[in-house]
């Protein structure tokens, strides 16, 4: 082969390589939407609000479902088997990011992948739930926002509304890490005030009515943390405590509106929105879960259920009356 032929052969080879590269790029369009999986433990007001806040944060910043992003929303209906199936689905579909709403959802998906970035919300303590190395430097593929409540201040609110309280009742789910964590802090707050406490736990929603009935004769007021089972079953709690005229302080607004008396709690829509802003940092390459500190809410809202207050004969202090809402 002469020199000219060799040169021609090299040129043809280069043209073929460039052509193949061009074909390869055409096979993966640059406008392919970013796949975001949302795994929600169950449906109730707080978790739904967190999800909507997350989606709105993305939309407000140019990432709308059906446009730059494609959202796959799945509700596990408080079932561990469903959580596992959803996690497998997300991993198989190679989603680019997962939002896990509530502790069991985050624990389940985190057990499925160490590669896909995971953001959690409506989770009380990530270290206690064994999701991160530390809240300051998570160290793995999980970060997010915490719904840790001002528990001491919530107990103080209980005593402002029911100053004669001597014994506080705790109702929560025995296998929810977030609930166990909060009750540990609530017990410390109650004991520091020299009060007694009684606790009754449930393992599923079918036990809520019996648990509530079993505690009302032993306590002067009840405290319920951000517990997924009780959040869904607050109308059942209300059916018992309205009759006994027992004040119930809850850890979040949705539970109050569903039958509790009052809270100083988190706005879950805002918390979800905050999580959405974290997602944008990951999408745009300016952050990664391993180095993104767990973020907390900066503000909390007073909410008092005026309907419940009237039914149980509760007098609301003048400086708290502006926070009274009439729940339907």
Q: Is the domain of 282 the same as that of 253?
A: no
Per-residue pLDDT of 105-129, as tens digits, reads 999 999 999 999 999 999 999 999 9
Please indicate, yes or no, if residue 10 is contained in any of the structural domains.
Answer: no
Q: Is the domain of 70 the same as that of 194?
A: no
- 192: exposed, middle or buried (Cβ count in 10 Å: 0-12, 13-18, 19+): exposed
Q: Is the domain of 315 the same as that of 199?
A: yes
Q: Is the domain of 202 the same as that of 95?
A: no
- DSSP-assigned states of every residue in 121-144: EEES-TTTTTS-S-SS---SSEEE
Q: Is the domain of 287 the same as that of 177?
A: no
Q: How many residues can be counted in the chain?
A: 328
Q: Is the domain of 203 the same as that of 312?
A: yes
Residue 155 has pLDDT above 50, yes or no: yes
For residue 284, the model assigns a pLDDT of 97
Please indicate, yes or no, if residue 16 is contained in any of the structural domains.
Answer: no
Q: Which two tokens stand for residue 223?
A: 């405290």
- 230: exposed, middle or buried (Cβ count in 10 Å: 0-12, 13-18, 19+): buried
Domain holding 183, by residue range, is: 151-265+301-325
Sort strands 167-173 and 196-202 into parallel, antiparallel or unpaired.
parallel
For residue 266, the model assigns a pLDDT of 87
Average pLDDT over the chain, rounded to an integer? 92
Please indicate, yes or no, if residue 92 is contained in any of the structural domains.
Answer: yes
Q: Is the domain of 277 the same as that of 287?
A: yes
- 134: exposed, middle or buried (Cβ count in 10 Å: 0-12, 13-18, 19+): exposed
Residue 197 has pLDDT above 50, yes or no: yes
Residue 151 has pLDDT above 90, yes or no: yes
CA 304/CA 286 separation, integer angstroms: 41
CA 279/CA 286 separation, integer angstroms: 10
pLDDT interval class at 304 (50, 70, 90): very high
Mean pLDDT along residues 131-139: 97
pLDDT interval class at 16 (50, 70, 90): low
Q: Dihedral (C-alpha) 162, 218, 257, 263: value to the nearest 10 degrees?
A: 50
**CA neighbor of 274 nearest in space, from 56, 72, 42, 69:** 56
Cβ-based neighbours of 60, under 8 Å, separated by 6 or more: none
First to last CA, the chain: 91
What's the CATH code of the domain at 200?
Answer: 3.40.50.2300
CA 100/CA 171 separation, integer angstroms: 25
Q: Is the domain of 86 the same as that of 173?
A: no
Q: Is the domain of 82 the same as that of 205?
A: no
Q: Is the domain of 173 the same as that of 219?
A: yes
Please indicate, yes or no, if residue 87 is contained in any of the structural domains.
Answer: yes
CA 289/CA 304 separation, integer angstroms: 37
Q: Is the domain of 142 the same as that of 39?
A: yes
Q: Is the domain of 53 the same as that of 72?
A: yes
Per-residue pLDDT of 33-90, as tens digits, reads 999 999 999 998 889 999 999 999 999 999 999 999 999 999 999 999 999 999 999 9
Count the neighbouring beta carbons within 10 Å of the beta carbon of residue 105.
Answer: 32
Total domains in the fold of the chain = 2
């Amino acid at each position: 082969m002469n020199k000219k032929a060799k040169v021609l052969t090299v040129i043809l080879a280069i043209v073929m390589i460039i052509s193949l590269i061009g074909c390869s790029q055409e096979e993966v369009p640059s406008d392919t939407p970013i796949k975001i999986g949302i795994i929600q433990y169950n449906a109730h007001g707080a978790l739904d609000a967190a999800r909507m806040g997350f989606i709105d944060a993305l939309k407000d910043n140019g990432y709308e479902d059906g446009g730059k992003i494609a959202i796959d929303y799945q509700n596990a209906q408080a079932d561990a088997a469903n959580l596992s199936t959803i996690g497998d689905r997300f991993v198989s579909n190679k989603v680019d990011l997962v939002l896990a709403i509530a502790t069991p959802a985050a624990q389940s998906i985190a057990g499925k992948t160490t590669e896909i970035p995971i953001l959690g919300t409506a989770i009380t303590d990530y270290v206690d739930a064994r999701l991160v190395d530390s809240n300051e430097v998570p160290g793995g593929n999980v970060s997010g926002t915490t719904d840790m409540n001002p528990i001491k201040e919530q107990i103080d609110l209980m005593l402002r509304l029911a100053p004669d309280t001597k014994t506080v009742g705790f109702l929560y789910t025995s296998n929810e890490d977030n609930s166990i964590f909060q009750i540990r802090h609530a017990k410390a707050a109650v004991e520091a005030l020299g009060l007694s406490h009684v606790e009754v736990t449930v393992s599923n929603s079918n036990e809520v009515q019996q648990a509530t009935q079993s505690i009302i004769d032993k306590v002067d007021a009840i405290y319920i943390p951000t517990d997924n089972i009780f959040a869904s079953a607050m109308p059942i709690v209300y059916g018992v405590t309205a009759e006994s005229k027992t004040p119930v302080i809850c850890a979040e607004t949705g539970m109050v509106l569903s039958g509790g008396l009052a809270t100083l709690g988190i706005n879950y829509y805002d918390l979800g929105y905050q999580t959405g802003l974290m997602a944008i940092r990951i999408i745009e390459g300016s952050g990664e879960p391993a180095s993104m500190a767990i973020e907390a809410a900066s503000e909390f809202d007073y909410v008092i259920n005026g309907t419940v207050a009237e039914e149980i004969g509760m007098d609301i202090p003048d400086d708290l009356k502006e926070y009274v809402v009439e729940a339907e």
